[in-house]
């Protein structure tokens, strides 16, 4: 059994920077990865999908170019070229990570499946079924999650797609059926609709994104519907089947009567499950919760001292930036001032449809449920000068503010640059700035940020609940 200072299982957005930091501390590291370096984000998530989002937006704009005085003879998308661009970006990102890891003399890379064989002992199984056993006093688990496949009658008998396999298609789906209406489903629905697919979303809730405020879900529904995406809500999928011509049939119940819809492809986008079942965690007395996630304390340490879980595998919001911040917390815990923690941290996130949704803090719905004394500042994107000038007037920006302290409690920016707009207000929240300080601050004209002046104008502030 070979001994290392550190073992990291998984090279995602926490494991990779952690390996580099530990190397700088002079540690000898074993980095175990069963797939590509970079984890889901680089290979099957953020990098490829946001590249497709960019391509889809260019296509959408070109198809509407005549209103800007541009006449294009051929604006039909070339799916092969779009895929080439996506793969080029992914390869560039992955190879950059590989270079930084493989050239580090302190990092020993093992391309295989890691699992516990004893307390702080790891077996690495390689593709040829050979294996080695390694041990270390510090072990970090960064194995992430994968697509959850629900138990639906007939689903295993059809060639269904996941968020991972959808990205490997060589031909554009003619009719794409999406089971699920979460963030992944929404982004893919608009991407493939703009590329030329007929897209239908099947969502079991009564509306899209039920955890968000009603105006957010309603606006996203309007945006997608206006672009031709069909949305079926309050729907239960009873069965899935395929015909002799390889078309796919989905039997639904929505309302009182069941009905059937058909398509050429079906994407299952019904959430994620953690990659823990093959880790043999019991060999090191590490528990999992009822959903398979690994419980951790405020510093990402499991119930076993010296063994940590970072990123999606520990549960909670599954975002790349959360995984990276997990790395920062662990690095501070091991080598810093020990002031960083995952407790009560502000978690921003975006839904990268066009226009995008940037979100942080509490919703208006949550403020009401908590019976807070708050006000709502809301302004349509059509009132933003820069949005009018660039013809991107769909959506709105909204902030929840404490009526007493005047501090910002939450933000929803569903507009062009919504993620960037939200991030500006995130900084204000972290700095404890009040909304009237922002209202009276000078921003450059004409920028989207300038809308902050008008957002907090008394004309846009409406009272919530007065305690």
Find out whether 79 and 195 touch, Cβ atoms under 8 Å: yes
The secondary structure of the chain, three-state, reads CEEEEEEEECCCCCHHHHHHHHHHCCCCEEEEECCCCCHHHHHHCHHHHHHHHHHHHHHHHHHCHHHHCCCCCCCCCCHHHHHHHHHHHHHHHHHHHHHHHHCCCCEEEEECEEEEEECCEEEEECCCCCEEEEEEEEEEECCCEEECCCCCECHHHCCCECCCHHHHCCCCCCEEEEECCCHHHHHHHHHHHHHCCEEEEECCCCCCCCCCCHHHHHHHHHHHHHCCCEEECCEEEEEEEECCCCCEEEEEEECCCEEEEEECEEEECCCEEECCCCCCHHHHCCCCCCCCCCCCCCCCECCCCCEEECHHHHCCCCCHHHHHHHHHHHHHHHHCCCCCCCCCCCCCEEECCCCEEEEEECCHHHHHHCCCEEEEEEEEHHHCHHHHHCCCCCCEEEEEEECCCCEEEEEEEEECCHHHHHHHHHHHHHHCCEHHHHHCCCCCCCCCCCHHHHHCCHHHEEECECC
Contacts of 466 (CB under 8 A, 6+ apart): 373, 403
Judge whether 279 and 143 are in contact, CB under 8 Å.
yes
201: nearest Cα among 247, 253, 266, 257: 266
373 forms beta bridges with 465
Tokens of 200: 């239908």
Any residues with CB less than 8 A from the CB of 73 and at least 6 apart, and which?
none
The whole-angstrom distance between residue 334's C-alpha and the CA centroid of its chain comes to 28
Active-site residue among 321, 333, 445, 460? Answer: 445
Are 360 and 370 in contact by the 8 Å Cβ rule? The answer is no
Q: Is 445 one of the catalytic residues?
A: yes
Active site residues: 445
């Amino acid at each position: 059994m070979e001994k290392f200072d550190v073992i990291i299982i998984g090279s995602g957005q926490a494991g990779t920077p952690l390996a580099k930091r530990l190397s700088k501390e002079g540690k000898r590291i074993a980095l175990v990865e069963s797939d590509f370096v970079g984890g889901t984000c680089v290979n099957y998530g953020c990098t490829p999908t946001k590249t497709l989002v960019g391509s889809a937006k260019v296509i959408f704009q070109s198809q509407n170019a005549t209103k800007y005085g541009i006449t294009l003879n051929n604006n039909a998308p070339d799916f092969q070229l779009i895929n080439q661009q996506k793969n080029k970006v992914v390869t560039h990102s992955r190879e950059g990570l590989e270079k930084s890891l493989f050239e580090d003399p302190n990092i020993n890379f093992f391309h295989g499946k890691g699992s516990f064989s004893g307390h702080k002992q790891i077996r690495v199984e390689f593709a040829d079924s050979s294996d080695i056993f390694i041990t270390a006093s510090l072990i970090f688990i960064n194995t992430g999650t994968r697509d959850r496949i629900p138990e639906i009658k007939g689903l295993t008998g059809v060639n269904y797609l996941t968020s991972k396999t959808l990205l490997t298609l060589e031909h554009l789906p003619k009719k794409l059926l999406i089971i699920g209406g979460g963030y992944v489903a929404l982004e893919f629905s608009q991407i493939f609709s703009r590329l030329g697919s007929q897209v239908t979303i099947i969502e079991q809730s009564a509306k899209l994104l039920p955890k968000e405020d009603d105006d957010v879900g309603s606006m996203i529904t309007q945006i997608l519907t206006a672009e031709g995406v069909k949305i079926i809500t309050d729907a239960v999928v009873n069965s899935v089947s395929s015909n002799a011509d390889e078309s796919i049939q989905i039997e639904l119940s929505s309302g009182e009567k069941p009905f059937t819809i058909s398509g050429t492809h079906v994407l299952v986008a019904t959430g994620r499950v953690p990659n823990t079942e093959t880790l043999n965690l019991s060999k090191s007395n590490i528990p999992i919760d009822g959903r398979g996630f690994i419980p951790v304390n405020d510093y990402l340490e499991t119930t076993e001292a010296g063994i940590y879980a970072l990123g999606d595998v520990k549960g909670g919001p599954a975002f790349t930036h959360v995984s990276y911040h997990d790395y920062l917390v662990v690095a501070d815990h091991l080598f810093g001032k020990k002031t960083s923690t995952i407790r009560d941290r502000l978690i921003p996130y975006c839904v990268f449809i066009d226009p995008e949704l940037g979100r942080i803090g509490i919703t208006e719905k949550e403020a009401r449920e908590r019976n807070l004394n708050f006000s709502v500042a809301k302004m349509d994107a059509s009132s933003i000068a820069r949005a009018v000038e660039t013809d991107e007037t769909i959506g709105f920006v909204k902030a929840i503010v404490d009526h007493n302290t005047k501090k910002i409690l939450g933000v929803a920016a569903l507009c062009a640059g919504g993620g960037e707009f939200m991030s500006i207000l995130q900084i204000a929240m972290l700095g404890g700035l009040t909304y009237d300080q922002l209202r009276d601050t000078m921003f450059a004209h004409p920028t989207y940020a300038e809308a902050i002046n008008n957002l907090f104008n008394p004309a846009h502030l409406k009272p919530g609940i007065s305690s």
